[in-house]
Each structure stands twice: as structure tokens, then as C-alpha cells.
Amino acid sequence: MSKKAVADFYVVANTPLNSTNFLLKLKSTSTLPTFKPGQFVNVDIKGTDEIFLRRPFSIFEVDYNENTLSLIVKILGRGSKKLTEIEVGEICSLVYPLGNGFTIPLKGEKVLLIGGGSGVAPMLFLAKVSETQHDNINLLLGARSIEDHVDVQKYAEYGYLHFSTEDGSLGETGFVTQHSIFRNNLQYFDRVYACGPDAMMKAIAKEAKAANVFCEVSLENLMACGFGVCLCCIEPTNKGNLCVCTEGPVFNINDLKW
């Protein structure tokens, strides 16, 4: 049995979540492997010569009964823009499963999961499969404004939800690192996880390091292959230049040169 696959999926839903994020739900004709939160798929985007390479997307949800997986597609450039135009019924080729995934929180561990923008995707997946119980999970989700937040109310069943917006239109005003749950008692948590813009993750990493708290972040670099042969998506680490696609995308902050 091969560890990785390339296969065609059918688009079963492509729903706008807000002005820049879309929920893309894809159905496989073959049985899906077990995905880990933090892992990603590399998506082929058809329709133009300008888009030659696949685009990596973190896995948001997997339904093993339906054989579907969902991605949050944020419009960042020509590739992601084109992908949001795909229609239900169309075929979409994926390379999967890629990357290492987050360390799954164990029973009884208190965790803070921080997602910024479309970075909420792997955080919600992690909350869902986490072995620790609801009361130990705090999800802190940040965005510029209430319109940029993806509706995640159903995730309240996995943990406590906290919001921050830069304009104060939802939850506390400011960046996630200015939120009271982060500010007041970071050492309360056994594990802190983050996915979002680099500046956000770097700010979180700095505080987590100072508080000596376990912290993993999910990086997003430009990639060509996604499975470790092109050596393009490297991140300088204490172990040298590592491929974000195979040695990551999840890194412990102590291994990074941040």
C-alpha cells in the first residue's frame, strides 16, 4: 500500500464563506486514508497556462463515511482565485496526504488553538480529533473584521470559542496576541498551537518561548512538488534548511530560527 496518492475528486460543494474565503468540499471515489490535522493536499488547478503548479491547502474537515474532505480556500493569488471558480461536479486532482501534522493533545491536557484568517482550518480539525475534553480546549480565532471571520459556531461543541478582530466588530479588539486569554495566563496551557499569517505566528512564538510553553505552528511557504523533491519550500531551522512540505508544515517553535 502506497503512503501517498494522486487521485481525482469530485467537487460536491464550493460555498463562499465571506468575501475572500470559500469552502471547497471534495468527494473521493476511493477510500480516504486517515488524515492528521495540519496535513495538507496539493490541488491541481486547471484552465490557464499561467497556473502551472498545484496549490497546497490545509485540510479543514474529513468525513470518512461520505468519503469527502473540505478545504478553506482563501483568495491569495491567481491560483486560489481560479480554484474558487470551480463548479460542483467538476473533477479536481489532489496529491495526498502531505506533511507531518500537529501533535495530538492528550487526555487532560489544556490547549490553546489559535487561528488567524483561513488558518482556522487546521485548528478546527485539531480541536475535533483532540483526545482532551471540551473544557480543556480553547479556540482563539482572529481576523481583521467580523466579515472576515468564517462561521465556526458549530465548533463550540469541541471547545470554548474566543474571538478577536482588529476593528472590534467581533470579540475583543486587536490582534490574537492582545486577547485576554492569550495575555493573561499563557502558562496555564500545556500546549499552544497556531496557524495564520507569519507575523501572527512569530508574535505567538515569542510569547510562548518566553513562557516556556510547548508551541507548534503551521508554516505556509511557496511550494512546487509538496512531497520533498524540489527543495523549494525550505525554512531555515536549527537542523538546517528543511522542507516545509515533508519536515513540516508543522514545526515546534524551538526548532525555528524565530
Interface residue list for other proteins (CB under 8 A): 2-6, 44, 49-54, 79, 93, 95, 221-236, 240-241, 246
Distance CA 174, CA 183 (A): 12
CB of 219 to other proteins, least distance (A): 11
**184 phi and psi angles, rounded to 5 deg:** -80, -35
CB of 241 to other proteins, least distance (A): 5
The residue among 52 and 153 lying less far from other proteins, judged by its C-beta, is 52
Question: SS3 for 166?
Answer: coil
Plot region of 196 (φ>0 → left; ψ -120 to 50 → alpha; else → beta): left
Question: SS3 for 167?
Answer: coil
The residue among 2 and 212 lying less far from other proteins, judged by its C-beta, is 2
CB of 44 to other proteins, least distance (A): 7
Radius of gyration of the chain, Cα coordinates, nearest whole angstrom: 18
Compute how many other C-beta atoms are within 10 angstroms of the C-beta atom of residue 92: 21
The residue among 78 and 183 lying less far from other proteins, judged by its C-beta, is 78
The DSSP symbol for 164 reads E
The residue among 97 and 142 lying less far from other proteins, judged by its C-beta, is 97
CB of 214 to other proteins, least distance (A): 26
The residue among 3 and 107 lying less far from other proteins, judged by its C-beta, is 3
Distance CA 225, CA 141 (A): 30
Helix ranges (DSSP H) in the chain: 78-83, 120-129, 180-184, 198-210
The residue among 49 and 87 lying less far from other proteins, judged by its C-beta, is 49
* Furthest CA-CA distance within the chain: 51
Distance CA 174, CA 210 (A): 21
CB of 119 to other proteins, least distance (A): 20
CB of 30 to other proteins, least distance (A): 14
CB of 96 to other proteins, least distance (A): 11
Q: Cβ(257)–Cβ(237) under 8 Å?
A: yes
The residue among 53 and 129 lying less far from other proteins, judged by its C-beta, is 53
